[in-house]
Amino acid sequence: MTMKKLLAILAFSLFIFSINTYASENPYKFLKKEVLIGKAKSEMKNDTRSISKKKALSIFEDSDGKAIKITLDTKFKGHKNDWERTGERNQRWETANKKKPRKFKKPVYIKYTFKLNDFPTHPAVGGSLFQVIANKGTSRLLPWMKLQFSGDRIVHQVNFTKEVFYLKGDPENSNFDKVGYKFDLGKVSNFNDYRTLSFKILASKKENGEIIAWLGNKKIFEVYGPNFTIGDGYTFKWGFYRWLKDAFLDETPTQSLTVKEFGFSGKCEEILDQDKCSYVSENKNSISYVSFRKSSSRSKTYGKEISKSIKWKKPLPEIKINK
């Protein structure tokens, strides 16, 4: 065999090795294989409005092992429908359900382990780390629930929506008239180490509805009765989404979300521990175990006409603080 052929074989072998090495360290493949659990492993895909995964994703490793790190920086900008949205500049890297929206027949159980150890805050920067989206057919209407940050605080928000409307000339972005409950989970600094959020969700327009949330082994809130006001199904959006203000773009910090595990299933034992799976409320009272803020809000129209509107006409749920 000639030296030329040997060099060619060596070069080809190095090429194949480099491909295999990249594949084993590819952050998106690592995410799908090692971070997503339950049905999330097969059902979640890169969302159409996400920035490039090559920019946003990296593998993070410390004494707790490997995790996926999702980074957002203003230099990445965002999808056209986010970055050029009326009155806002938004950016995201999220995954979304690739299957049809879930209906109201059975409960779903969710587990989310993450930390915010590389997350400098700014009072003008807010966003979400997980969303449950209300759908009508296959169209996304609005965030029904979302884990979000605002400045240096972490809250979990549950929205009961009175109206979803669309503005003339902007049919892709939904706007809301809603009542929201924001359950306070503490400062961003409280999430420097991994914390786990768990949920049981039974979406319903009737009295059998349930939403129960835990942080670690402590309940955050439990809500019973009609809980899904507009739409006929729901999907998940998981990842990192933030909204920014033009006036503070130069001051907006680079932020990273580090995730150890995220997943969901219709089988509780696949996702949650036995204590959570066996929990049954004695009185079905809708209560919160943490402080919360209730508010009403309506999206601005910026002088545009409303081209389409969907309304809820029944009473909205009431949540009280546990005493």
Within a domain: 248:
yes
Q: What is the pLDDT of residue 23?
A: 42
Q: Are 229 and 5 in contact, with CB atoms under 8 Å apart?
A: no
Q: And the tokens for 308?
A: 């389409």
Which residues have a Cβ under 8 Å from the Cβ of 244 and sit 6 or more positions away?
74, 88, 89, 90, 91, 124, 125, 252
pLDDT above 70 (res 275)? yes
Q: Are 201 and 108 in contact, with CB atoms under 8 Å apart?
A: yes
Q: What is the pLDDT of residue 270?
A: 96
Q: What is the pLDDT of residue 156?
A: 97
Within a domain: 9:
no
Helices (H), ranges, 234-307: 274-278
Q: What is the pLDDT of residue 19?
A: 41
What average pLDDT does the segment 290-312 reach? 92
Give the domain CATH number at 180: 2.60.120.200
Q: What is the pLDDT of residues 216-261, one digit of tens each?
A: 999 999 999 989 988 889 999 999 999 998 888 889 999 999 999 9
Domain that holds residue 290: 30-321
Q: What is the pLDDT of residue 6?
A: 53
Q: What is the pLDDT of residue 95?
A: 95
Within a domain: 290:
yes
Q: Which residue has the tokens 């309304």?
A: 311
Q: Are 60 and 66 in contact, with CB atoms under 8 Å apart?
A: yes
Within a domain: 12:
no
What average pLDDT does the segment 295-309 reach? 92
Within a domain: 7:
no
Q: What is the pLDDT of residues 42-55, one digit of tens each?
A: 999 999 899 999 99
Q: Are 203 and 104 in contact, with CB atoms under 8 Å apart?
A: yes
Within a domain: 300:
yes
Question: Of 183, 94, 182, which Cα lies nearest the Cα of 140?
Answer: 94
Domain count of the fold of the chain: 1
- Banded model confidence at residue 17, pLDDT cuts 50, 70, 90: very low
The residue type of 234 is Y
Mean pLDDT of the chain: 89
Greater pLDDT, 21 or 262: 262
Q: What percent of the chain has pLDDT over 90?
A: 68
Most confident of the ranges 59-68, 172-181, 299-308 = 59-68
Q: What is the pLDDT of residue 105?
A: 81
Within a domain: 174:
yes
Question: Of 271, 280, 234, which Cα lies nearest the Cα of 104?
Answer: 234
Q: What is the pLDDT of residues 68-118, one digit of tens each?
A: 999 999 999 999 989 987 777 899 999 999 878 888 889 999 999 999 999
Q: What is the pLDDT of residue 148?
A: 96
- Banded model confidence at residue 152, pLDDT cuts 50, 70, 90: very high
Within a domain: 173:
yes
Question: Of 96, 51, 54, 95, which Cα lies nearest the Cα of 74?
Answer: 51
Q: What is the pLDDT of residue 116?
A: 97
- Predicted TM-score (pTM) of the model is 0.85
pLDDT above 90 (res 14)? no
- Banded model confidence at residue 1, pLDDT cuts 50, 70, 90: low
